[in-house]
Amino acid sequence: MRILAAMSGGVDSAVAAARAVEAGHDVVGVHLALSRAGGTLRTGSRGCCTIEDALDARRAADLLGIPFYVWDFSERFRDDVIEDFISEYKAGRTPNPCMRCNEKIKFAALLERAIELGFDAVCTGHYATLVPTDDGLELHRAADDAKDQSYVLGVLTAEQLAHTYFPLGTTPSKAVVRAEAAARGLSVAQKPDSHDICFIPDGDTRGWLAEKVGTATGDIVDRSGAVVGAHEGAHAYTVGQRRGLKLGVPAADGKPRFVLEVRPVSNTVIVGPKEALATAEISGERFSWAGAAPTESRFRCEVQIRAHAEPVPAEAQVTAQGVTATPDVPLDGVAPGQTAVLYVGTRVIGQFTIDRTVSAAPVPA
């Protein structure tokens, strides 16, 4: 196959490209420039897609003896990922930019260009596996649960899965990947993994949003509507948050309170007890299937709402209005804007963006 290897500059993508070469594929490496800040440098495990990362990717490609290019996707990344992130927070939702990047950049924009240029598949260093069936490819969890990235790939469609290649999916651990990189002479063998949101490398999401969205003083209220504090911008809060509330009125029971809801139109933040974070039902209109769609409109599954959260047994229902998942036990601290990924065993069935939640704790009279 003709393979376009997406090389981020990290150890995973370098080893994935090396395995593609070793398997006899015709491989070309490409690094995606996602930022117009040309002088951006990486600090430890903060951020990614920097000048240092591009140079690391080039060195790996040179060692593997494959052609290497840098493609400027910064405009598309700004429009589809960064602006989406800002607009979602403005709307009181909690987005996952990694999901949007995979959906809009790595497996849409990049894959589209790859196919136009005659490549058969895009290779990445994601930890997930593809299983061929009579109905096409299925997306499954990786062999290493600790590194499994099938959640952030849940946005991929059957057509996209048909043109993807995940050489690391069956690898038992990240330690094996690092050892292999060292044995191959790759300089990134011990490079730290990237953490945090790549376009907010200092990790100060609240400060970054304040700069982009601005600040506006508003009320923090409890579930009865009583004002218990003030804030400088509802966008700085997310469901489940406890720190940074600085409430002036203590709870009657003396227990800490958590953010239960963000209402951007009224610039209000609703707080309450931890038990009020329990969510009995989630639903969303925007959904997709990772491979063949379910044959039944109602089916048993497991639902996962964060990249490293434990999956929870649930019943899913598909209607003309979208997808609803009812977990067997309440989910904790679900925020609109998050992505719910549905599994059956190790297989990813599909995903939906959470628009509506139903609390398992009634509001006191």
Catalytic residue numbers, as ranges: 101, 198
CB atoms within 10 A of CB 109: 18
Instruction: Report whether 85 contacts 212 (CB < 8 A).
Output: no
Backbone conformation region of residue 243, classed left if phi is above 0, alpha if psi is from -120 to 50, else beta: beta
CA distances from 290 to 227, 319, 337 (A): 45, 18, 19
Can you list the pairs that 73-76 forms with residues at least 24 positions away whose Cβ atoms lie under 8 Å?
73/32, 73/33, 73/34, 73/105, 73/109, 73/110, 74/33, 74/34, 74/35, 74/36, 76/104, 76/105, 76/109
Q: What token pair was written down for 340?
A: 């719910």
- Cβ–Cβ < 8 Å for 339, 154: yes
Q: Contact, 54 vs 33, CB < 8 A?
A: yes
CA atoms within 13 A on the CB side of 224: 8
